[in-house]
Chain A
Amino acid sequence: MTPPDAETADASRHDARFHATSYLRFLRLAFRLATEGSWLFYAWMFVLTCIALVGTHAWAVQVRDGMAVTAMTDHVSWGLYIANFTFIVGLAAGGVMMVIPAYIYHDRDMHDTVIIGELLAIASIVMCLLFVVVDLGRPDRFWHIMPFVGKFNWPISMLTWDVIVLNGYLLLNLHICGYLLYKRFLGETPDKRWYVPFVFLSIAWAISIHTVTAFLYCGLGGRPFWNTALLAPRFLTSAFVAGPAFIVVVLQIIRRMTKMKIGEGSIRTLVGIMRITILINLVMLVSEIFTSFYTGGSHGVSAKYLFFGHHGHGALVPWMWTSVTFSIIAAILLMRPKVHEHLWTLDIACVLGFAGIWIEKGMGLIIPGFIPSTLHEWVEYLPSATEWKITAGIWAGGLLIYTLLLKVAIPVFSGEANKLSN
């Protein structure tokens, strides 16, 4: 597939006009690839569009009628949106777990599949940004948070850091993926100078997006449940379970649905990562639980509420035990020798691990931070129908974007698109 090196020399001689026309052709091809497919593809897109529509409408109503349509209160002032935001930042960071083996350890199998992880990062960041927007009481004032135009409280506010790192990560991945695909489309070898530095930057950046997101919470002294140094490491570890778990499933779907060759090695490497990270994550959970329950005090009150409830308040108890059970089952399943050859076991482990962390890092982390409140009032929270609709809508939108990106990238990357066009 890779053209001879002689062509690289050619590449440097292209002038701006050449790129102007061929980039347009590239976009045209991308558009065509993205809008053509089997009936299954159309049905999938149709369903996702419908869910996204329901979410969009629910959001418009929320803006009109106020956030009273959510179940949030002055006591629990962040809910399902921020919970999903936190989890999905992890998904975006987790995508980079394909990049490290591919570029640092020159894993050949990974090289062919790395783009799948990078595209996941793009789709996830878009979802993150959407989750932040739907959580705003005044989305019409979004420009206030833009540097230079509005008033950007940098470097004091951690949220401004998050805005920077998330958008930076989005741009980095857009550049890397866009550049590699365009070069493939031209049939040229990508120039290392134009992407390798960015790839390494994106690895460091992936760590930073999740660390900064953890700092959003653990920097708040008034919320003992979050105020722990373990938060950022825990975030990273669980991200490196959820990200690979998602990608393992996606790789198998791609193997079934397209002609792309997915090497055994990719899945094996990802499974190797998950096996360890899921255990580390459980160890950290145990150490958090020990500190909370053995010492007691204010840090312990929320944790106790989370796992066992408090005087008849126990909305989160079933969530949390589901999460713990899922994670433990996933960890055990992943220990099965040669699990990458037993696809059913592997898939169940991935789904359980993913769902377990979605709860642990979402509802299980954000909500107990507010319960009891800072004046020790016990007000519980369970998401309202509006919140579920909007959340489902954003997930559908994210999957829609991811599907389209893969739909373009896979044929271009494998050279199939070029062969056909010749």
Chain B
Amino acid sequence: MNKMEPVLRVRDVWKSYGDLEVLKGISFDVMESEVKVVFGPSGSGKSTLLRCINYLDPPDRGDVFLRGVRLGEKDTDINEMRARIGMVFQHFNLFAHLRAIDNVAIGPEKVLGLSKEDARQRAMAALEHVKMADWADHYPAQLSGGQQQRVGIARALAMEPDVILFDEPTSALDPELIGEVLQVMLDLAKEGTTMVVVTHEMGFARAVANEMIFIDGGVVVERGTPEHFFRGADSERVRQFLHKLEELYGKEREELRDVDGE
């Protein structure tokens, strides 16, 4: 496979809900083993962008290519394409009636057509990857948020996708559970997993992002390496946003310290 061909190519994507224009022409490429961090204010369209990328919510205009094949083309099976694009949700969205192992095995079995036995084996390997093998027989409601999210990541991994999309994977977690999920994501990034990550965890971005994209008002306001952003962004809006993030997270850390101190 041509290493220089982007895994994912997002070209001028537009999306409106009624009169509300959420995305106004977003473009970027994601190369093999690249980690792209997308960030921006709440309501700026980050989740919508991810849903447009795998056509859960097809764009009004613009194109998405997965290894050169356009999604939404008449003769491409959208379910087959989605199977190659992993997705990890803010609220985990594990299947509530299935044990962890079955949450992970259902995709390989029902979508990829593996035998029950092979699907379970692959699911077990994926659970081991996120250090959840000991919890394989637990139901989602019996797991902590951090554990659920790791199963959510395993569910995406078991499909052996070309790219995984993460939608604020740690923002619904209690602060003390964020670390275990970020650690798994850091490991994946270092192993060369191709990832698009919507997150405000700047530590993660600094450690593994190849490029960061700041989105506001449905357009890309600024993009660059982590060093570029942390040295001082060009746009005043981005600088303000990063400053606010720092305050917010700084405060959170203090609160944590207060709790520990008691």
**Chain A bound to chain B:** no
